[in-house]
Structure 1
Amino acid sequence: MNTNLTTERPTFVTHLECSWTGEIYEADQPHNLSRAGKPLLVRYDLDGVRAALSKETVAARPNDLWRWRELLPVRRVADIISLGEVATPLIPLTRSLQDLGGGEVLVKDEGRLPTGSFKARGLVMAVSMAKAFGLKHLAMPSNGNAGAALAAYASRAGIRATVCCPEDTPEINLSEIALQGGAVYRVNGLIDDCGKLVGQGREVTGWFDVSTLKEPYRIEGKKTMGLELAEQLGWELPDVIFYPTGGGTGLIGMWKAFAELEAIGFIGSKRPRMVAVQAAGCAPMVRAFEAGDEAAIRWEGAHTIASGIRVPQAVGDFLILRAVRDSGGFAIAVSDEAIMAAVESVARADGLLLCPEGGATMAAYKQALADGRVRKDERAVLFNCATGLKYPMPPVHASLDRTKPINFAGLSEAD
């Protein structure tokens, strides 16, 4: 029995706070954006957490997302909706980087989570809170993986789910959403166009909008990436984190996690440089970062094979840019060609199947190593946000005819 899911524990949520104005909102009731139209952040009694939680206590618990209950918003075990959110491993890359002479590079492989992507972290928290609030119907726009996670957790909670996806969303993602009980629709537009439809539908249907950063709890699920990472590295954060950035919930969430960990005495003041990785065909954060802007304007004509980071306009743009700048990090764009080359090289050399967004972080690391923004002696963590099994792979045409002589020596040479 997983005691993380069965044992009542003290909870420390005090209120919600507008990320732009600091205005206070009451916890324990559903909220979307603040009155200023900005994301709400969950705040905790961190002195209380510090008194209640120790590193030893955490280490003794089952190794999943729910071991961090004191730093999470779900108050009662009866509201936890779980499909087995394991702590994801750190996989060192060795052969992929031999020619570059890079330092220690670790891939946090989020594809091991339920529904095969890191979207499970955010949606398990959002759906659990929706259950706590008694919500009956959730809706969101999605490039695929978030919709799949919403459908899975909503079905398990007995909550309806509606998902709007861009029309070129991979068939496997659409089928996954539908098979797991979600109502899914193709939309002739990009993800922000889908988001507008979800917002319009809310006025008519009353469904609750769980779009990226338009509710407070997906950040709380995603921040567990930062909590896990700190513990896995012996409470010593890496020098640099490369994060594939579309809506940016995970980057914002990890930055929040590090501040909370310092406040409860688990880590010191050292922070990694946070690197927002985008595709050259959709790089609003890179453009805003390089221009010194506090917000990012919409990227027109967005296109990339890494559909998870094809987000022309992010609600939390200022939070992403703030975290990147406060950490001394940067935003970087990589080409689709570099993304696919990285996916192929890591698969062949290290046996790890990256999704395109994960490939983008590898391409960005190589680019940053070459231009000096990352040193060879630095420890870097790359986030692979989904299993590569969900994405197209090269066809195989080679065959053997068992009824005819086979040149095995030739096969060996071909290998």
Structure 2
Amino acid sequence: MAFSALTHLECSRTGERYDAEKVQGTSAAGAPLLARYDLERVRETVTREEIASRAPDLWRYHELLPVRAEENIVSLGEGMTPLLNLPNYAKQIGLSRLLMKDEGLVPTGTFKARGAAVGVSRASELGVRGVAMPTNGNAGAAWALYAARAGMASLIAMPVDAPAITRAECHAAGSELYLVDGLIGDAGKLIGAAVAERDGYQDVSTLKEPYRLEGKKTMGYEIVEQLGWRMPDVILYPTGGGVGIIGIYKALREMVELGWVTGPLPRLVAVQATGCAPIVEAFKNGARESEPFPDAKTVAFGITVPKALGDFLVLEGVYDTGGTAIAVTDEDLLAAQVELATAEGTFICPEGAACFVAAKQLREAGWLGEDDEVVVLNTGTGVKYPETVAVDVPTLAKDGRIPAR
């Protein structure tokens, strides 16, 4: 069959169809567009065994990705991150089966590389000359580097408080970079105005183009394949713009329709910080959309999104799977970052650490059972956030002596 089974794009609110062979933003309703595939044809022509024989990267699922021709793939080797067993921390919090999908090992050090790889590949294939986006840091770094790989220009705006390393990555990639005295929404307004004045540039803000989501959904495919083509009981995901949890939910539903998995979907848990928790507040109120969160601020900078364009899709996934939404404090997530490194030797990002706090609290509340198989997404490496861990160690004179213990 063809390299991709992509058929069309679909408005996530109205179901209206859009041409996938044209550069597209949001729908006429202002909603994200979702890529749709000929799943019947994939089911008839692709087997799980065949996929298992392919290269260990996210492109092993190429029929379910939007790039039409293999030669148009822009890749740095992304995908197939490990699914690690965490027995020590699991015991500490009262779980018997706790796994971590470690996205800190992909190129650029965060899961954002997945969306950048697929998004840049498809944009290049459709003739886009430059990509432009607001970012809290990591997404901009990933898109800037993949754009450089593709020979494309990139225009990035990020809050002045974004992690310094992400600024350096954009600069090193040759991106046109601007710092904004404000939040990601403020950066987004500047990007939107700039793209309107430039020929050949595409606004690739979160869910304002359809293909970043397709890269992110491969986390769902990988988790299921790595578990022997079965689904866990629960998946916890740090949620800002929500593309990761929306993508995993999309992947799970596609795999059910393909007949690759059976049974109930995992309960999806959207994890936020108390300093920016619009999804959690909406869930508490039984709402289908969120309200803008006032004075948003958290050390987990990647999830500082006061109002997500795809909030209704996040909430749909949570409600439809019997999941929940929970917010944790900065103090607790910073403590968990150190606890995980001490217990398991894994130095994770603060957003990932928030999910481990959530798992602990949900277990204490009885929402998680001791025997539930729980998968936590660590969305990046801790080394990209050196300022989150306070280091206070003694300095010895060169003729000094380390004390005996």
TM-score when scaled to structure 1?
0.95
TM-aligned CA deviation for residue 9 of structure 1: 4.7
| Candidates 339, 343, 352, aligned match of 1:349 | 343
Task: Using the TM superposition, give the Cα deviation of residue 402 of structure 1 relative to its aligned residue in structure 2, in angstroms.
Answer: 4.1
1:317 aligns with 2:349: no
Shift of 1:403: 2.9
Give the match for residue 165 of structure 2.
Answer: 172
Is contact 1:152-1:180 (8 Å) kept?
Answer: yes
CA distance in 1, matches of 2:215, 2:193: 26
Conserved? CA contact 1:50–1:264, under 8 Å: yes
Shift of 1:397: 3.3
* SS at structure 1 position matched to 2:197: helix
Q: Structure 2: how far apart are the matches of 1:100 and 1:36?
A: 44
For 1:98 and 1:329, locate their aligned partners in 2 and report how far apart those are by CA, in whole Å.
23
Q: Which amino acid aligns with 2:192?
A: G
**Identical-pair percentage:** 49
1:307 to 291, 301, 304: 301
Structure 1 unaligned blocks of 5 or more: 1-7
For residues 5-404 of structure 1, the aligned pairs below 5 Å read 9-206=2-199, 207-391=201-385, 392=387, 393-404=389-400
Task: State how far apart, in whole Å, the 2-side matches of 1:226 and 1:323 are.
Answer: 13
Contact 1:84 1:114 in 2 (8 A): yes
CA distance in 2, matches of 1:167, 1:252: 28
Distance (Å, rounded) in 2 between the aligned partners of 1:215 and 1:39: 7
What secondary structure sits across from 2:35 in the alignment? Answer: strand
Distance in 1 of aligned mates of 2:94 and 2:311: 34
Determine if contact 1:346/1:353 at 8 Å carries over to the other structure: yes
Residue type of the partner of 2:390?
Answer: P
User: In structure 1, how many angstroms separate the alpha carbons of the residues matched to 2:111 and 2:277?
Assistant: 21
Deviations 1:337-366 (A, max 9, x none): 110111010011111001000000001101
- Mapped to 2, the partners of 1:348 and 1:60 lie a distance apart of 36
Structure 2 letter corresponding to 1:403: D
Q: Shift of the alpha carbon at 1:180?
A: 1.5
Counterpart AA for 2:225: E
Contact 2:110–2:380 (CA<8 Å) still a contact in 1? yes
Q: Which sits farther off after the overlay, 22-31 or 32-41?
A: 22-31
What is the CA–CA distance in structure 2 between the aligned matches of 1:129 and 1:148, rounded to whole Å? 18
CA distance in 1, matches of 2:93, 2:348: 19
- Unpaired segments ≥5 residues, structure 2: none
CA RMSD of aligned residues (A): 1.2
> Aligned-pair distance for 1:396?
4.7
Alpha-carbon offset, residue 86 of structure 1? 3.3
- Is the partner of 1:320 in helix, strand or coil? helix
Within 2, Cα distance between the matches of 1:403 and 1:269? 66
| Distance in 2, Cα, partners of 1:275 & 1:19 | 21
Q: What's the offset of the Cα at 1:97?
A: 3.3
AA matched with 2:68? R
- Partner AA of 1:233 in structure 2: L
Distance 1:282 1:342 in 2: 18
Determine if contact 1:103/1:380 at 8 Å carries over to the other structure.
no
Distance in 2 (alpha carbons) for counterparts of 1:290 and 1:397: 43
1:191 maps to amino acid: I
Q: How many residues are matched?
A: 402
1:4 corresponding residue in structure 2: none
| Alignment TM-score, normalising by the size of structure 2 | 0.97
Stretch of structure 1 that moved more, 198-207 or 45-54: 198-207
- Paired residue secondary structure (1:394): coil
Q: 1:5 aligns to what? A: none
CA contact (8 A) 1:309 1:357 kept: yes
Query: What is the CA-CA distance between 1:275 and the residue it aligns to?
Result: 0.3
Q: Secondary structure at the match of 1:99?
A: helix
CA contact (8 A) 2:155 2:176 kept: yes
Q: Which amino acid aligns with 1:81?
A: V
- Kept in 1, the 8 Å contact 2:39–2:258? The answer is yes
CA shift at 1:255, angstroms? 0.7
Deviations 1:215-237 (A, max 9, x none): 00011000000000000001111
